[in-house]
């Protein structure tokens, strides 16, 4: 990966719908050469997907919580069980005082409580600790 690839990735992270011609002008390549570079970045798995950045509150999912999951056993093979809960946006096996860290979005705290009940029902889960986000200062993509 060279500086041109990194520049393309930064531009695509700002707006993935930017036409190849505009991307090419920004990095000094033709539209065709830019398209080929982006295609190769996709093939190599550097670009995993292209998506729209949607405001969760506009969809009625304004409550954001991070949930630490305690367990009685190794949870490293539990990804599918957490993925089955649509409110769980991310699940990470972690080192530290808990076994798994979940990023959860719901519409209300009552719905969050329901998610916590369903997480607790997963085999091996012995407890949860939720931290509700009051305000997000910023979120940023990985810098290329």
Residue 76 pLDDT more than 90? no
- Arch. (CATH architecture) of 56-132: 2-Layer Sandwich (3.30)
Q: How confident is the model at residue 140 (pLDDT cuts 50, 70, 90)?
A: confident
The 10s digit of each residue's pLDDT in 10-63 is 999 999 999 999 999 999 999 999 999 999 999 999 999 998 889 999 999 999
CB contact at 8 A, 89 and 70: no
Delimit the domains of the chain by residue range: 3-43, 56-132
**What confidence score (pLDDT) does residue 32 get?**
97
- With respect to CATH, is domain 3-43 assigned 3.40.50.720? no
> What is the percentage of the chain residues whose pLDDT exceeds 70?
100
């Amino acid at each position: 990966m060279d500086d041109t690839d990194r520049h393309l990735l930064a531009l695509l992270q700002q707006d993935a719908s930017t036409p190849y011609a505009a991307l090419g002008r920004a990095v000094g390549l033709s539209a065709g050469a830019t398209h080929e570079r982006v295609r190769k970045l996709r093939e190599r798995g550097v670009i995993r997907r292209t998506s729209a950045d949607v405001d969760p509150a506009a969809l009625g999912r304004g409550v954001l919580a991070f949930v630490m999951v305690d367990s009685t056993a190794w949870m490293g093979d539990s990804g599918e069980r957490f993925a089955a809960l649509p409110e769980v946006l991310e699940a990470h096996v972690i080192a530290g005082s808990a076994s798994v860290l979940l990023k959860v979005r719901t519409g209300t705290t009552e719905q969050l409580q329901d998610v916590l009940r369903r997480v607790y029902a997963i085999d091996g889960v012995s407890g949860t600790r939720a931290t509700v986000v009051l305000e997000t200062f910023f979120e940023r993509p990985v810098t290329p």
